[in-house]
Chain A
Amino acid sequence: MQNPSKTGVVKQVDSIQQQLTSYAGDLSYCGITAEAVHAAKLRTIDTLGALIGAFFGEPCWIARNLAAQMPYPNGATVIGTRMKTAPDLAAFINASTARYPELTDSYHWPGSSYGHPSDVVTPVFAAAEYARSSGRDFLTGIVLAYEVYLRISNVFHNNGFDHTNFCCLGTALAAGKLLGLSTEQLSHCVSMAVVPNVTLRQVRTDPLSMWKAVASGQAGRAGVFAAMLARAGMEGPHLPFEGKAGWCDHVAGGRFQLEKMGGSGTPFKILDTRFKLRPSSGEAQSTILAAEKVSPLRNLKDVKKITVELYKKAKLSKGTGAHQWNPDSREAADHSVPYLVAVTLMDGTVTLRSFNDARLWNPELRALMQKIEVTENEEFTRAYERRPVEHRTRITVLTFSGERLVGETGGDEDDFSMPKSDAQIEEKFRGLTEDMLGAKRANTILEKLWHLEDVKDVSEIPPLLLLH
């Protein structure tokens, strides 16, 4: 473990690495505001609910099969099962599964690189379980990983690289802290996370594949593995951010300075992420809600034309290009505005079942999709670009019989960017888990998670989530 760098004359730690390391080292449960602690609990509940809801998804069971081949009794649990595997592999599986149903939180800060920061929740949990951390340490780890993820998202500017890169870094710092790394080790951990694990944005660029969800697992695994390497005494590359061939110049799109990080009066960023109530992309939430207001349509044959008015970013990413009218997989469908509108108009809402093969290839639905036109509403675009961000959509259905139905959402208390109440998050959790866990166990789990700060050892949580 003796590090030769101590005697070095050349600078080996750069300022961003230094700042992140000191911040992670200094953050303590006592320094976190009550609302940030509560926000961390909400997001833990929300993410674990998504994981249970997605348990039978294809990449999720494929990933579980790998863990079954690599048991590790002192490692971390593949949530939903009794299997324990290496903590990094547990992170891989659990984060892929939690991400799969498109139900976890989303970040829409103007000018940022966006992202799904809840990707950090299960990898941080895997490290916490492995380290037998307390509930308080785990919550501190979550707030820390969110803070890092989101502050980086705010300064990152390169369309070629994915936001799971932030997840890798945030996870590495939180996992490193939970594993008890020294300052110097933590600094190597940061470097071993960012330098050799760069993920291209192609993971979520059309045409989408099942890897869209697995990208989160890959990033979580890399972050946890970096922490394990650092704990074993491994030394990462020097100057990871600001070196000549470092992360700033070649991945982040240029040199940057970190904003002031949460604590000592500065609000924690975890408060700025938004919950989804429907299983789909964040930019499609308002569309589904608007469609629900005119759904279900009784006579689909009577529909002449459907116009969907959106803000620019939603139109560009979810309603532009012929492929959005012809999705061929779950991943393509849950990111297609025409599909989501059509399925909502037929079924009344969107659930995880809305993307089954039977629905995906339903001829009636396919025919309805072809009647949908997506346009930008400039007023909605402006509303999306200011704070608080508004996610607005208007859907107009014209029928052959001359009827005109209008559904509109956003800009009010139901807006996607409005915080959700504890009751709403509980209801969502129950909806996703009750079928599989039963109402009583769902209650027990919620009770435990609402009081996470009283849990002495988080390794008591996975057995509560056992599905069989």
Chain B
Amino acid sequence: MNTAIQGSEHKITDRIQQRLTNYAWDMNYDALPREAIHAAKVRIIDTLGALIGGFYGEPCRIARAIAAQVPDPDGATVLGTRIKTAPDMCAFVNATTARYAEVNDIYRLPGANFAGHPSDVITPVLAVAEHTRASGREFITNVVLAYEVTCRICDVFNNRGFDNTNFCCLAIAVAAGRMYGLAPAQLSHCISMAVVPNGILKQVRTAPLSMWKAVGAGQAGKAGVFAAILARAGMEGPHLPFEGKAGWCKYIANQDFTMDTMGGDGTRFRILDTVLRHRAAPRNTISAILAAEKIARVKNEHVKHVTVEVYQRAKERAGTGEERWNPDSRETADHSIPYLVAATLLDGGVSPNTFSDAHLWNAELRALMQKVEIIENKEFTQAYAGVPREHRARITLVTSAGEQRVGEAGGDDNDLAEQMSDTQVAEKFRGLTEDYLGPRRVDAILDGLWHLDQLSDVAGIPSTFIL
């Protein structure tokens, strides 16, 4: 099918494409260190919990309605339902839904220009694993593979105009192609058909945010899976996708790079370095939430003033600009420290419900938000720039009676940079799913997922999630 390759006399595959193809081929479960396997299980549990937590979100419901119009009994399952659709459409819906609640993991190499949400790869990889009736071990292997590709690209990416979901699209294509059993030449085309025609601009997560912020993950998943489907059918992608004259390095990554170092043979897998979130909010807001929890709950009428001290990046990303004090959608609210601090002070914590319309337009919350002031604490900024990174925040609340209360978080065991224990992961999963699935089913699901390596066919997983 790949006629051009056979007859070719000039170079049509570039180094990065070749490297990724070989890396995917060489990856195998038996060579994975135990911690990487465990890290994959933890992230699968975490992401599926996030999906259930986000199930009733607006873009998730809309995406499901579209998938329901294109049923494919041999495809993959829209998680939470009995609907089966084409694997790429399934990836679109499930990845959107898992991303929606803002509780899935985060990755940033200290010093790198880019951060990302590598768990965006999990549900698209599961869609193809289900479609190909892969074993639990094959699924785990491909999750580790997709994480590795996403994170390594994230380490070298250098263009603020393009989004981190581009890394996921590529990583998903590599893993999906591997699961479809593509020959090296086909896998190479699969990679090319993922990166060349599916660029995603960073406008998807640039203020003012829209519901598309979550859908960006779905779009990338759909594109990655579709590239693999095309390659399996014999389609040939553009040549020299990364290093060509009009290729990905020059115009999207904004620099030449190599991918010489990747996990395995003693090199640490990147999946171990992504951080799980304790709360349903973006990374730079979490320490403020944790600090606020320590002095919650309060009533607005008793509060005179609230000062939030954070590190510089947190102030820039989530505490600067008038719109942070006047969010008008879930997406703007969950990226606003004033909103999150006010909600936590009133309710005691943050959950997916914190962003419902009733909360969003609650007059007491709006009034409290106006009393919140955000300032940079230089010491916190230095702690954030250190290794290991610390995410610190201090909240000082002055009551109308003149009393002062202080809540502080970060720099300890509960810092965002610290890995969550298995118990914390299971607890978070329960918190997100128990209301919908009931405690017994939750126990059964958790038991199954902790023993994923013993599962012979992952197609059994989706039926345990039917809401």
Distance in angstroms between the alpha carbons of A236 and B62 in the assembled complex: 12
Distance in angstroms between the alpha carbons of A103 and B44 in the assembled complex: 49
Within 8 A of B (CB), among A269-310: none
- Interface bits A7-32 vs B (CB < 8 Å: 1, else 0): 11111100000000000000000000
Distance in angstroms between the alpha carbons of A160 and B244 in the assembled complex: 10
- Segment at the A interface, from B207-215, B386-394, B432-440: B207-215
Is there an interface contact between A192 and B212, defined as CB atoms closer than 8 Å?
yes
* B residues lining the A interface (CB < 8 Å): 3-4, 7-12, 58-59, 62-63, 65-66, 69-70, 72, 74, 86, 159-163, 165, 192-193, 195-204, 206-213, 215-216, 219-220, 229-230, 233-241, 244-248, 250-252, 323, 326, 328-330
Count of A-B residue pairs with CB < 8 Å: 225
Is there an interface contact between A12 and B12, defined as CB atoms closer than 8 Å?
no
Distance in angstroms between the alpha carbons of A164 and B198 in the assembled complex: 12
- Which residue from chain B places its CB closest to the CB of A75 in the assembled complex? B70
- Which residue from chain B places its CB closest to the CB of A2 in the assembled complex? B58
Kindly list 13 other residue pairs between chains A and B, CB separation below 8 angstroms, not including A205-B245, A207-B10, A238-B210: A10-B323, A10-B328, A72-B69, A197-B199, A197-B200, A209-B12, A211-B193, A211-B235, A215-B238, A232-B66, A245-B206, A250-B162, A329-B3
Is there an interface contact between A205 and B246, defined as CB atoms closer than 8 Å?
yes
Interface bracket on A: 35 or more
Is there an interface contact between A196 and B204, defined as CB atoms closer than 8 Å?
yes
A85 → chain B closest CB, angstroms: 9
13 contacts between A and B (CB under 8 A): A12-B208, A86-B70, A196-B220, A200-B246, A201-B246, A209-B12, A209-B238, A234-B63, A234-B215, A245-B160, A245-B163, A328-B4, A361-B7
Distance in angstroms between the alpha carbons of A373 and B230 in the assembled complex: 39
Within 8 A of B (CB), among A194-228: 194-203, 205-212, 214-215, 218-219, 228
Is there an interface contact between B201 and A59, defined as CB atoms closer than 8 Å?
no
Whether a CB of chain B sits under 8 angstroms from the CB of A249 is yes
Is there an interface contact between A4 and B4, defined as CB atoms closer than 8 Å?
no
- Segment at the B interface, from A60-68, A257-265, A402-410, A417-425: A60-68
- Which residue from chain A places its CB closest to the CB of B192 in the assembled complex? A211
- Which residue from chain A places its CB closest to the CB of B357 in the assembled complex? A4
- Which residue from chain A places its CB closest to the CB of B326 in the assembled complex? A9
Whether a CB of chain B sits under 8 angstroms from the CB of A161 is yes
Assuming the A-B contacts A200-B199, A203-B238, A215-B197, are A209 and B4 also in contact, with contact meaning beta carbons closer than 8 angstroms in the complex?
Answer: yes
Distance in angstroms between the alpha carbons of A389 and B435 in the assembled complex: 69
Is there an interface contact between A211 and B238, defined as CB atoms closer than 8 Å?
yes
Whether a CB of chain B sits under 8 angstroms from the CB of A233 is yes
Within 8 A of B (CB), among A141-163: 158-162
Is there an interface contact between A328 and B9, defined as CB atoms closer than 8 Å?
yes
Is there an interface contact between A199 and B235, defined as CB atoms closer than 8 Å?
no
Residues of the B chain whose Cβ atoms lie less than 8 Å from the Cβ of A212: 238
Distance in angstroms between the alpha carbons of A244 and B206 in the assembled complex: 7
Residues of the B chain whose Cβ atoms lie less than 8 Å from the Cβ of A236: 210, 212
Is there an interface contact between A209 and B161, defined as CB atoms closer than 8 Å?
no
Is there an interface contact between A9 and B328, defined as CB atoms closer than 8 Å?
yes
Residues of the B chain whose Cβ atoms lie less than 8 Å from the Cβ of A244: 203, 206
- Which residue from chain A places its CB closest to the CB of B234 in the assembled complex? A62
Is there an interface contact between B323 and A9, defined as CB atoms closer than 8 Å?
yes
Is there an interface contact between A66 and B204, defined as CB atoms closer than 8 Å?
no
A151 → chain B closest CB, angstroms: 21
Whether a CB of chain B sits under 8 angstroms from the CB of A326 is yes
Which of B9, B163, B165, B329 is A5 in contact with, Cβ under 8 Å?
B329
Which of A162, A207, A251 is B201 in contact with, Cβ under 8 Å?
A251
Residues of the B chain whose Cβ atoms lie less than 8 Å from the Cβ of A203: 196-197, 238
Is there an interface contact between A202 and B246, defined as CB atoms closer than 8 Å?
yes
Residues of the B chain whose Cβ atoms lie less than 8 Å from the Cβ of A249: 161
A388 → chain B closest CB, angstroms: 30
Is there an interface contact between B208 and A238, defined as CB atoms closer than 8 Å?
yes
Distance in angstroms between the alpha carbons of A214 and B226 in the assembled complex: 13
Distance in angstroms between the alpha carbons of A240 and B11 in the assembled complex: 37
Considering residues A196, A198, A207, A211, which has the most beta carbons from chain B within 10 angstroms of its beta carbon? A196
- Which residue from chain B places its CB closest to the CB of A332 in the assembled complex? B4
Is there an interface contact between B326 and A197, defined as CB atoms closer than 8 Å?
no
Is there an interface contact between A199 and B197, defined as CB atoms closer than 8 Å?
yes
Distance in angstroms between the alpha carbons of A161 and B11 in the assembled complex: 22
Is there an interface contact between A250 and B206, defined as CB atoms closer than 8 Å?
no
Assuming the A-B contacts A10-B208, A329-B4, are A198 and B236 also in contact, with contact meaning beta carbons closer than 8 angstroms in the complex?
Answer: no
A355 → chain B closest CB, angstroms: 12
Whether a CB of chain B sits under 8 angstroms from the CB of A243 is yes
Residues of the A chain whose Cβ atoms lie less than 8 Å from the Cβ of B3: 58, 329
Distance in angstroms between the alpha carbons of A201 and B199 in the assembled complex: 12
Residues of the B chain whose Cβ atoms lie less than 8 Å from the Cβ of A158: 251
Residues of the A chain whose Cβ atoms lie less than 8 Å from the Cβ of B323: 9-10
Residues of the B chain whose Cβ atoms lie less than 8 Å from the Cβ of A65: 233-234
- Which residue from chain A places its CB closest to the CB of B86 in the assembled complex? A70
Residues of the A chain whose Cβ atoms lie less than 8 Å from the Cβ of B59: 234-235
Assuming the A-B contacts A66-B233, A234-B215, are A239 and B203 also in contact, with contact meaning beta carbons closer than 8 angstroms in the complex?
Answer: yes
What are the 3 closest A-B residue pairs judged by CB atoms, nearest first? Answer: A198-B199, A250-B161, A201-B246
Distance in angstroms between the alpha carbons of A251 and B203 in the assembled complex: 12
Residues of the B chain whose Cβ atoms lie less than 8 Å from the Cβ of A199: 196-199
Whether a CB of chain B sits under 8 angstroms from the CB of A247 is yes
Is there an interface contact between A246 and B245, defined as CB atoms closer than 8 Å?
no
Is there an interface contact between A207 and B239, defined as CB atoms closer than 8 Å?
yes
